[in-house]
Amino acid sequence: MLAQKQAEEAIVSNFSETQHEGREEGAKDQEEQQSVFSVKNLLWHGGSVWDAWFSCASNQVAQVLLTLPYSFSQLGILSGILLQIFYGVVGSWTAYLISVLYIEYRSRKEKENVSFKNHVIQWFEVLDGLLGPYWKAVGLAFNCTFLLFGSVIQLIACASNIYYINDRLDKRTWTYIFGACCATTVFIPSFHNYRLWSFLGLGMTTYTAWYMAIAAIVHGQVGDVQHTAPTKLVLYFTGATNILYTFGGHAVTVEIMHAMWKPQKFKYIYLFATLYVFTLTIPSATAVYWAFGDELLEHSNAFSLLPKTAWRDAAVILMLIHQFITFGFACTPLYFVWEKVIGMHDTKSICLRALARLPVVIPIWFLAIIFPFFGPINSAVGALLVSFTVYIIPSMAHMLTYRKASARQNAAEKPPFFLPSWTAMYVINTFIVVWVFVVGFGFGGWASMTNFVRQVDTFGLFAKCYQCKPPPAAAGAASIPHH
């Protein structure tokens, strides 16, 4: 026990000494002697437990907050609430597994005297170090594709939201504009520098969530409101995979951990972030679905049904700012990967790194113009990418890493206090792999792709204005139903 305690203390010491950008504990005192550096430290350099909590909570509830009422119209209130709780808890568990694997990888490398002072550890590198190059390739492929489409979704959401304030421009034009705005995230070096943004982002989504709930209750139910969900399996599993996507912010977990001064304290942060997110998602989705019912089946963005007021416009603007922040969250790991590919990751010049990162933004911009389907693309990404990236791969990686008795005996992190048995951990991980593969990837993939193809058939690729109000000349014409 004494040897293990000493080893853990050594790991903690190494963590704080080798953090990205040299954020050593001893350097703080020197910075605080000058007010300029104190302000910079307060607003720019974040690595505390609270910074990680704000980053996790802020990253979880972005544009998906606006699509959850749409999911409730597919699932019904009971299924919607139960699935949120279920996937929130399961997502918190797999985030815990990722944190354990990160600490295991980091501790092994520390023993080999590997320094990470100018290097940000990423999930695919953890898989490579623990399980080999094949797992690295799998992790890299799923993570990068998920982050790519996660960034695409933010651009689509920006264009969708601003349209409800200013409809003089179509959504495709707004996508061009916001693509240029979001490209400025190339200047944010790492997750250390999201301290202020994460704090503001969570405040913005908190306002938006409670605005949605209160506005829906004040508005009351529309005439002849109907709550028929669930009615079709396709719709049910499409909504379920959107909720699976809601609690799948794990693609940036390792980067957030690496930005902490003491990463070993991350273990339960994601759970606490999820509990807060429940206070935002469940009341807002329930209230909006109660007010508008089946009308939401044709409106994947809740803003399209809520009455136009100054309160709603404020919520739209705040969500736009937050989506810019979330775009940066999703893109930053992609920037790191690209920098490592072209050999620019160790470059200290912010301007040179920003210039090198620009090619990452271009395909994201292009895909957002090709597939502007706000709600359906969430479900498709959830079923095909989040299922593996967030749930299946971490569970399998944990089981394989500790499959040998020697690995379990020398583990840097033992099983949690509430589940002290390795066997119980294997049972839970196996259940998650089977459940998510069958329900999330299997049924969810079938349903979400069926729905996605239906949107393409109805609106076509490069749709100029997806789910927009018809022009005045065609206002009296019958609209095409879509789900």
Cα R_g (the chain), whole angstroms: 22
Torsion angle defined by CA atoms of residues 386, 391, 392 and 395, in that order, rounded to the nearest 10 degrees: 150
Question: Which token pair is 452?
Answer: 């996605």
Half-sphere exposure of 482 (CA within 13 A, CB side): 22
28 pLDDT exceeds 60? no
State how far Cα 219 lies from the chain centre: 31
- In this predicted structure, what is the pLDDT of residue 239? 86
Closest CA relative to residue 193, chosen from 107, 280, 268, 256: 256
The secondary structure element, H or E, covering residue 236 is helix 233-246
Rounded Cα–Cα distance for residues 136 and 410 (Å): 23
Q: How far is CA 97 from CA 56, 153, 415, 473, 475, in A?
A: 15, 27, 10, 56, 53
- In this predicted structure, what is the pLDDT of residue 99? 93
pLDDT tens digit sequence for 91-117:
999 999 999 999 999 999 888 888 777
pLDDT-based confidence at residue 59 (cuts at 50, 70, 90)? confident
37 pLDDT exceeds 90? no
Degrees to nearest 5, angle at CA 250 with 247 and 73: 20
Which residues, in sequence order, are CB contacts of 348 under 8 Å at separation 6+? none
Count of residues for the chain? Answer: 483
Rounded Cα–Cα distance for residues 58 and 321 (Å): 12
Rounded Cα–Cα distance for residues 341 and 220 (Å): 54
pLDDT tens digit sequence for 321-330:
888 888 888 8
22 pLDDT exceeds 80? no
- In this predicted structure, what is the pLDDT of residue 138? 93
- In this predicted structure, what is the pLDDT of residue 247? 83
- In this predicted structure, what is the pLDDT of residue 111? 87
214 pLDDT exceeds 80? yes
Judge residue 359's burial from the number of C-beta atoms within 10 Å of its C-beta, 0-12 exposed, 13-18 middle, 19 or more buried.
Answer: exposed
- In this predicted structure, what is the pLDDT of residue 465? 60
Q: What are phi and psi of 19, to 5 degrees?
A: -65, 150
Among the ranges given (35-39, 205-209, 262-266, 342-346), the one the predictor scored with the smallest mean pLDDT: 35-39
Q: What is the DSSP letter of 295?
A: G
337 pLDDT exceeds 70? yes
pLDDT tens digit sequence for 292-311:
999 998 888 888 899 989 99
Rounded Cα–Cα distance for residues 248 and 60 (Å): 7
Which residues, in sequence order, are CB contacts of 193 under 8 Å at separation 6+? 44, 45, 46
Do 205 and 322 form a contact (C-beta atoms < 8 A)? yes
Q: Hey, what amino acid is at 34?
A: Q
Rounded Cα–Cα distance for residues 61 and 314 (Å): 17
Rounded Cα–Cα distance for residues 238 and 378 (Å): 9
Rounded Cα–Cα distance for residues 94 and 392 (Å): 9
pLDDT-based confidence at residue 130 (cuts at 50, 70, 90)? very high
pLDDT-based confidence at residue 378 (cuts at 50, 70, 90)? low
**Residue in this structure with the two tokens 């990423």, named with its chain if needed:** 122
**Which contacts (CB < 8 Å, 24+ apart) does range 32-37 have?**
none
Rounded Cα–Cα distance for residues 153 and 162 (Å): 14
The secondary structure element, H or E, covering residue 297 is none
Among the ranges given (42-46, 188-192, 269-273, 402-406), the one the predictor scored with the smallest mean pLDDT: 42-46
Name the pTM for this structure: 0.81
Among the ranges given (153-167, 321-335, 338-352), the one the predictor scored with the smallest mean pLDDT: 153-167
Task: Compute the average pLDDT of residues 344-353.
Answer: 81
Rounded Cα–Cα distance for residues 161 and 66 (Å): 10
Q: What are phi and psi of 309, to 5 degrees?
A: -140, 175
pLDDT-based confidence at residue 242 (cuts at 50, 70, 90)? confident
Do 222 and 295 form a contact (C-beta atoms < 8 A)? yes
Q: Give the 3-state DSSP-derived string for 135-168, with helices as H, strands as E and coil as C.
A: HHHHHHHHHHHHHHHHHHHHHHHHHHHHCCCCCC
What integer best gives the mean pLDDT of the chain?
81
**Residue in this structure with the two tokens 């399996």, named with its chain if needed:** 233
382 pLDDT exceeds 90? no
Helix and strand numbers, DSSP H then E, in the chain: 20, 0
- In this predicted structure, what is the pLDDT of residue 84? 94
**Residue in this structure with the two tokens 């999911």, named with its chain if needed:** 71
**Residue in this structure with the two tokens 């010049």, named with its chain if needed:** 349
265 pLDDT exceeds 80? yes
- From its phi and psi, is residue 223 left (phi > 0), alpha (psi between -120 and 50) or beta? beta
Q: Hey, what amino acid is at 149?
A: F
Task: Compute the average pLDDT of residues 152-169.
Answer: 79
- In this predicted structure, what is the pLDDT of residue 25? 40
The count of other CB atoms within 10 Å of the CB of residue 166 is 10
